[in-house]
Structure 1
């Protein structure tokens, strides 16, 4: 069956497209919330289908929505609380590390460090963090509205998402359906990688970090474990940054035991094992995405789009790859059809 473009009411489609464009422009400030809700719903729709076999689709969508929102809220609140409560400790740690290196080397370079204003920089950093938190507290009403919109949008996308996808699929035929399926697979695999794999790695890293930092003997075990979990969301870097910082700190204070534990236990367990073994295993055969693409998408997306770039960056790069596959597929098909008459 072929698609007949001449049978389509182009005027109606044009009007619908115009309405969609006006709506997009009018609600553009809220697009960040809509995009996050839609991307998360795509990952959750398969779970909605399974749960809807036992209870009503509306109830299953509601349960999944509130379960996810509750989990996210608890995670964000606990993480923010831990980081805020330990901010002064982190600043004092940096100061101790600088003092330790100055005392160890006692060279003209290190003696000139106070003249560079490191203490003022540290105090400024602390004030900036506090001002940022205060600014977010002042924006609570706006955040509350966005949270409500996120919850409602997530529920609707979970509840109606599969039906919308089926309606679109029914209007596609032949190679169009095959090409769109390539795009859809890229979307679902990328979002699966971001939400399921990377967040699973973060959780696993957190629980692996707890006994390690207990063994290390430093205080604030929860604080360090939370930091490692946050950095574990980014492929390749992972907790390496935290471990490198602590290795420098151990070196500055002459704690050779801690340095050896970080090098021979912390780095292999918290960084190498999670990035080189667990992440590929969890991604499995379903996700055919090079981790480098995810890595570039994270940093590139966040640098130009903010926090939403954490999702859109890898997704857009993955779609570019999917588009490349479609172009090659169409060119090969066209080449085959062009050569057919000669045969």
Structure 2
């Protein structure tokens, strides 16, 4: 009878989860990110509890730690922008009053006034969009904070409940999937930070070789932009290339677009992510890259986390099924076949 009741309640839980996902579709990405962050903060909360903090206090400290980490990442961008704001006006004063170029035997001239009019119209449109979306963003950030705290606070009980729904003979598989998910999430967030650090170091060298001033400032902006999906450091490089075109330095524009695009915008994703994915999450670099790119293109920013996570869980499930079916590796199978063949060959 108890088994029947638990089965019914399990189906009710699954149906309500689907209904909640349908109703809360607009905040589903926020909920997903909160779950992944809380998943990683639970071990920190346990360590704090082991050091004498209460359950509630350790959950609060872990949540604040996550919030402070985000602030630490974003603060340099605002500090650099405020410190270098006056330098932007100096650079703008260098731009000529008009820019002429020839295309298909037709000469076109763009004045600074026309360009500024377009820029200001775009900025006004962006400002209106930001002002409209700001209340929603603040609500989602508040929801994110409450969700992380509540999940860290009650994560153990939720985990035990979900594990209890799994038949006892499958507990080892559930534990393996749980371990793989935690390791993958840790690797994803560590990879993001490591890629940003690698971008900073590469950008530092590239901007110095190309002869730019304020190389630390430019490298820091490139590293922080690495946290923004799709755009990344390409936004900075495109702006620099356009500036060089505006002042008539086509060679510098080509260099920053080609060399910077390869070394700063493309190389870290190819060189750092796959290698660290293999070391930290035991996930082949090619599979991580497929999950990262596929998730990003399919789901947007949430796909950065969901894509590699699903691929990692798929790999772990294949490994569990392989162990269950006692499937041998190719090398072992060939060796065993050779041994059997040798032993069945009659001696002459």
- Shorter-normalised TM-score: what interval? 0.5 to 0.7
Structure 2 counterpart of 1:192: 186
Structure 1 residues 259 and 166, CA gap change in structure 2 (3 angstroms): same
Structure 2 counterpart of 1:341: none
- SS of equivalent residue, structure 1 residue 219: coil
| Structure 1 residue runs without a partner (length 5+) | 334-343
Question: Residues of 1 paired with 2:176 and 2:108: CA distance?
Answer: 56
Structure 1 residues 30 and 276, CA gap change in structure 2 (3 angstroms): closer
Question: Residues of 2 paired with 1:209 and 1:19: CA distance?
Answer: 49
Question: Residues of 2 paired with 1:316 and 1:123: CA distance?
Answer: 46
Compute the displacement of 1:288 (Å). 0.8
Structure 2 counterpart of 1:165: 159
Compute the displacement of 1:180 (Å). 1.8
Q: Which has the larger radius of gyration?
A: 2
Contact residue 43 and residue 192 of structure 1 kept, 8 A: yes
Contact residue 74 and residue 224 of structure 2 kept, 8 A: no
Structure 1 residues 317 and 121, CA gap change in structure 2 (3 angstroms): farther
Matched, 1:25 2:22: yes
Question: Residues of 1 paired with 2:38 and 2:108: CA distance?
Answer: 51
Contact residue 27 and residue 140 of structure 2 kept, 8 A: yes
Structure 2 counterpart of 1:79: 77
- SS of equivalent residue, structure 1 residue 289: coil
| Structure 2 residue runs without a partner (length 5+) | 328-348
Contact residue 250 and residue 259 of structure 1 kept, 8 A: no
**CA distances 1:155-199 after superposition (whole Å, capped 9, x unpaired):** 122222233223433554555122223322332222112112321
Contact residue 243 and residue 267 of structure 1 kept, 8 A: no
Matched, 1:63 2:61: yes
Aligned length: 317
Structure 1 residues 284 and 302, CA gap change in structure 2 (3 angstroms): closer
**Residues 173-212 of structure 1 correspond to what in structure 2 (within 5 A)?**
173=167, 175-206=169-200, 209-210=203-204
Matched, 1:149 2:143: yes
**CA distances 1:260-309 after superposition (whole Å, capped 9, x unpaired):** 9x97x99889986x678765775574411123333333332233322222
Compute the displacement of 1:38 (Å). 0.7
Structure 1 residues 282 and 9, CA gap change in structure 2 (3 angstroms): closer
- SS of equivalent residue, structure 2 residue 140: helix
Contact residue 238 and residue 271 of structure 1 kept, 8 A: no
Question: Residues of 2 paired with 1:14 and 1:315: CA distance?
Answer: 25
The TM-score normalised by the length of structure 2 is: 0.67
Structure 2 counterpart of 1:48: 45
Contact residue 83 and residue 223 of structure 1 kept, 8 A: no
Question: Residues of 2 paired with 1:110 and 1:310: CA distance?
Answer: 46
Question: Residues of 2 paired with 1:162 and 1:282: CA distance?
Answer: 29
Moved more, 135-144 or 14-23: 14-23
**CA distances 1:120-175 after superposition (whole Å, capped 9, x unpaired):** 89986775466335412332211111111100111122222233223433554555
Structure 2 counterpart of 1:340: none
Structure 1 residues 51 and 212, CA gap change in structure 2 (3 angstroms): farther
Compute the displacement of 1:202 (Å). 0.9
Contact residue 206 and residue 263 of structure 2 kept, 8 A: no
The TM-score normalised by the length of structure 1 is: 0.67
- SS of equivalent residue, structure 1 residue 139: helix
Question: Residues of 2 paired with 1:125 and 1:319: CA distance?
Answer: 46
Contact residue 40 and residue 154 of structure 1 kept, 8 A: yes
What value does the CA root-mean-square deviation take over the aligned residues? Answer: 4.9
Structure 2 counterpart of 1:219: 213
Contact residue 36 and residue 185 of structure 2 kept, 8 A: yes
**CA distances 1:48-70 after superposition (whole Å, capped 9, x unpaired):** 22122111221122112122213
Contact residue 10 and residue 165 of structure 2 kept, 8 A: no
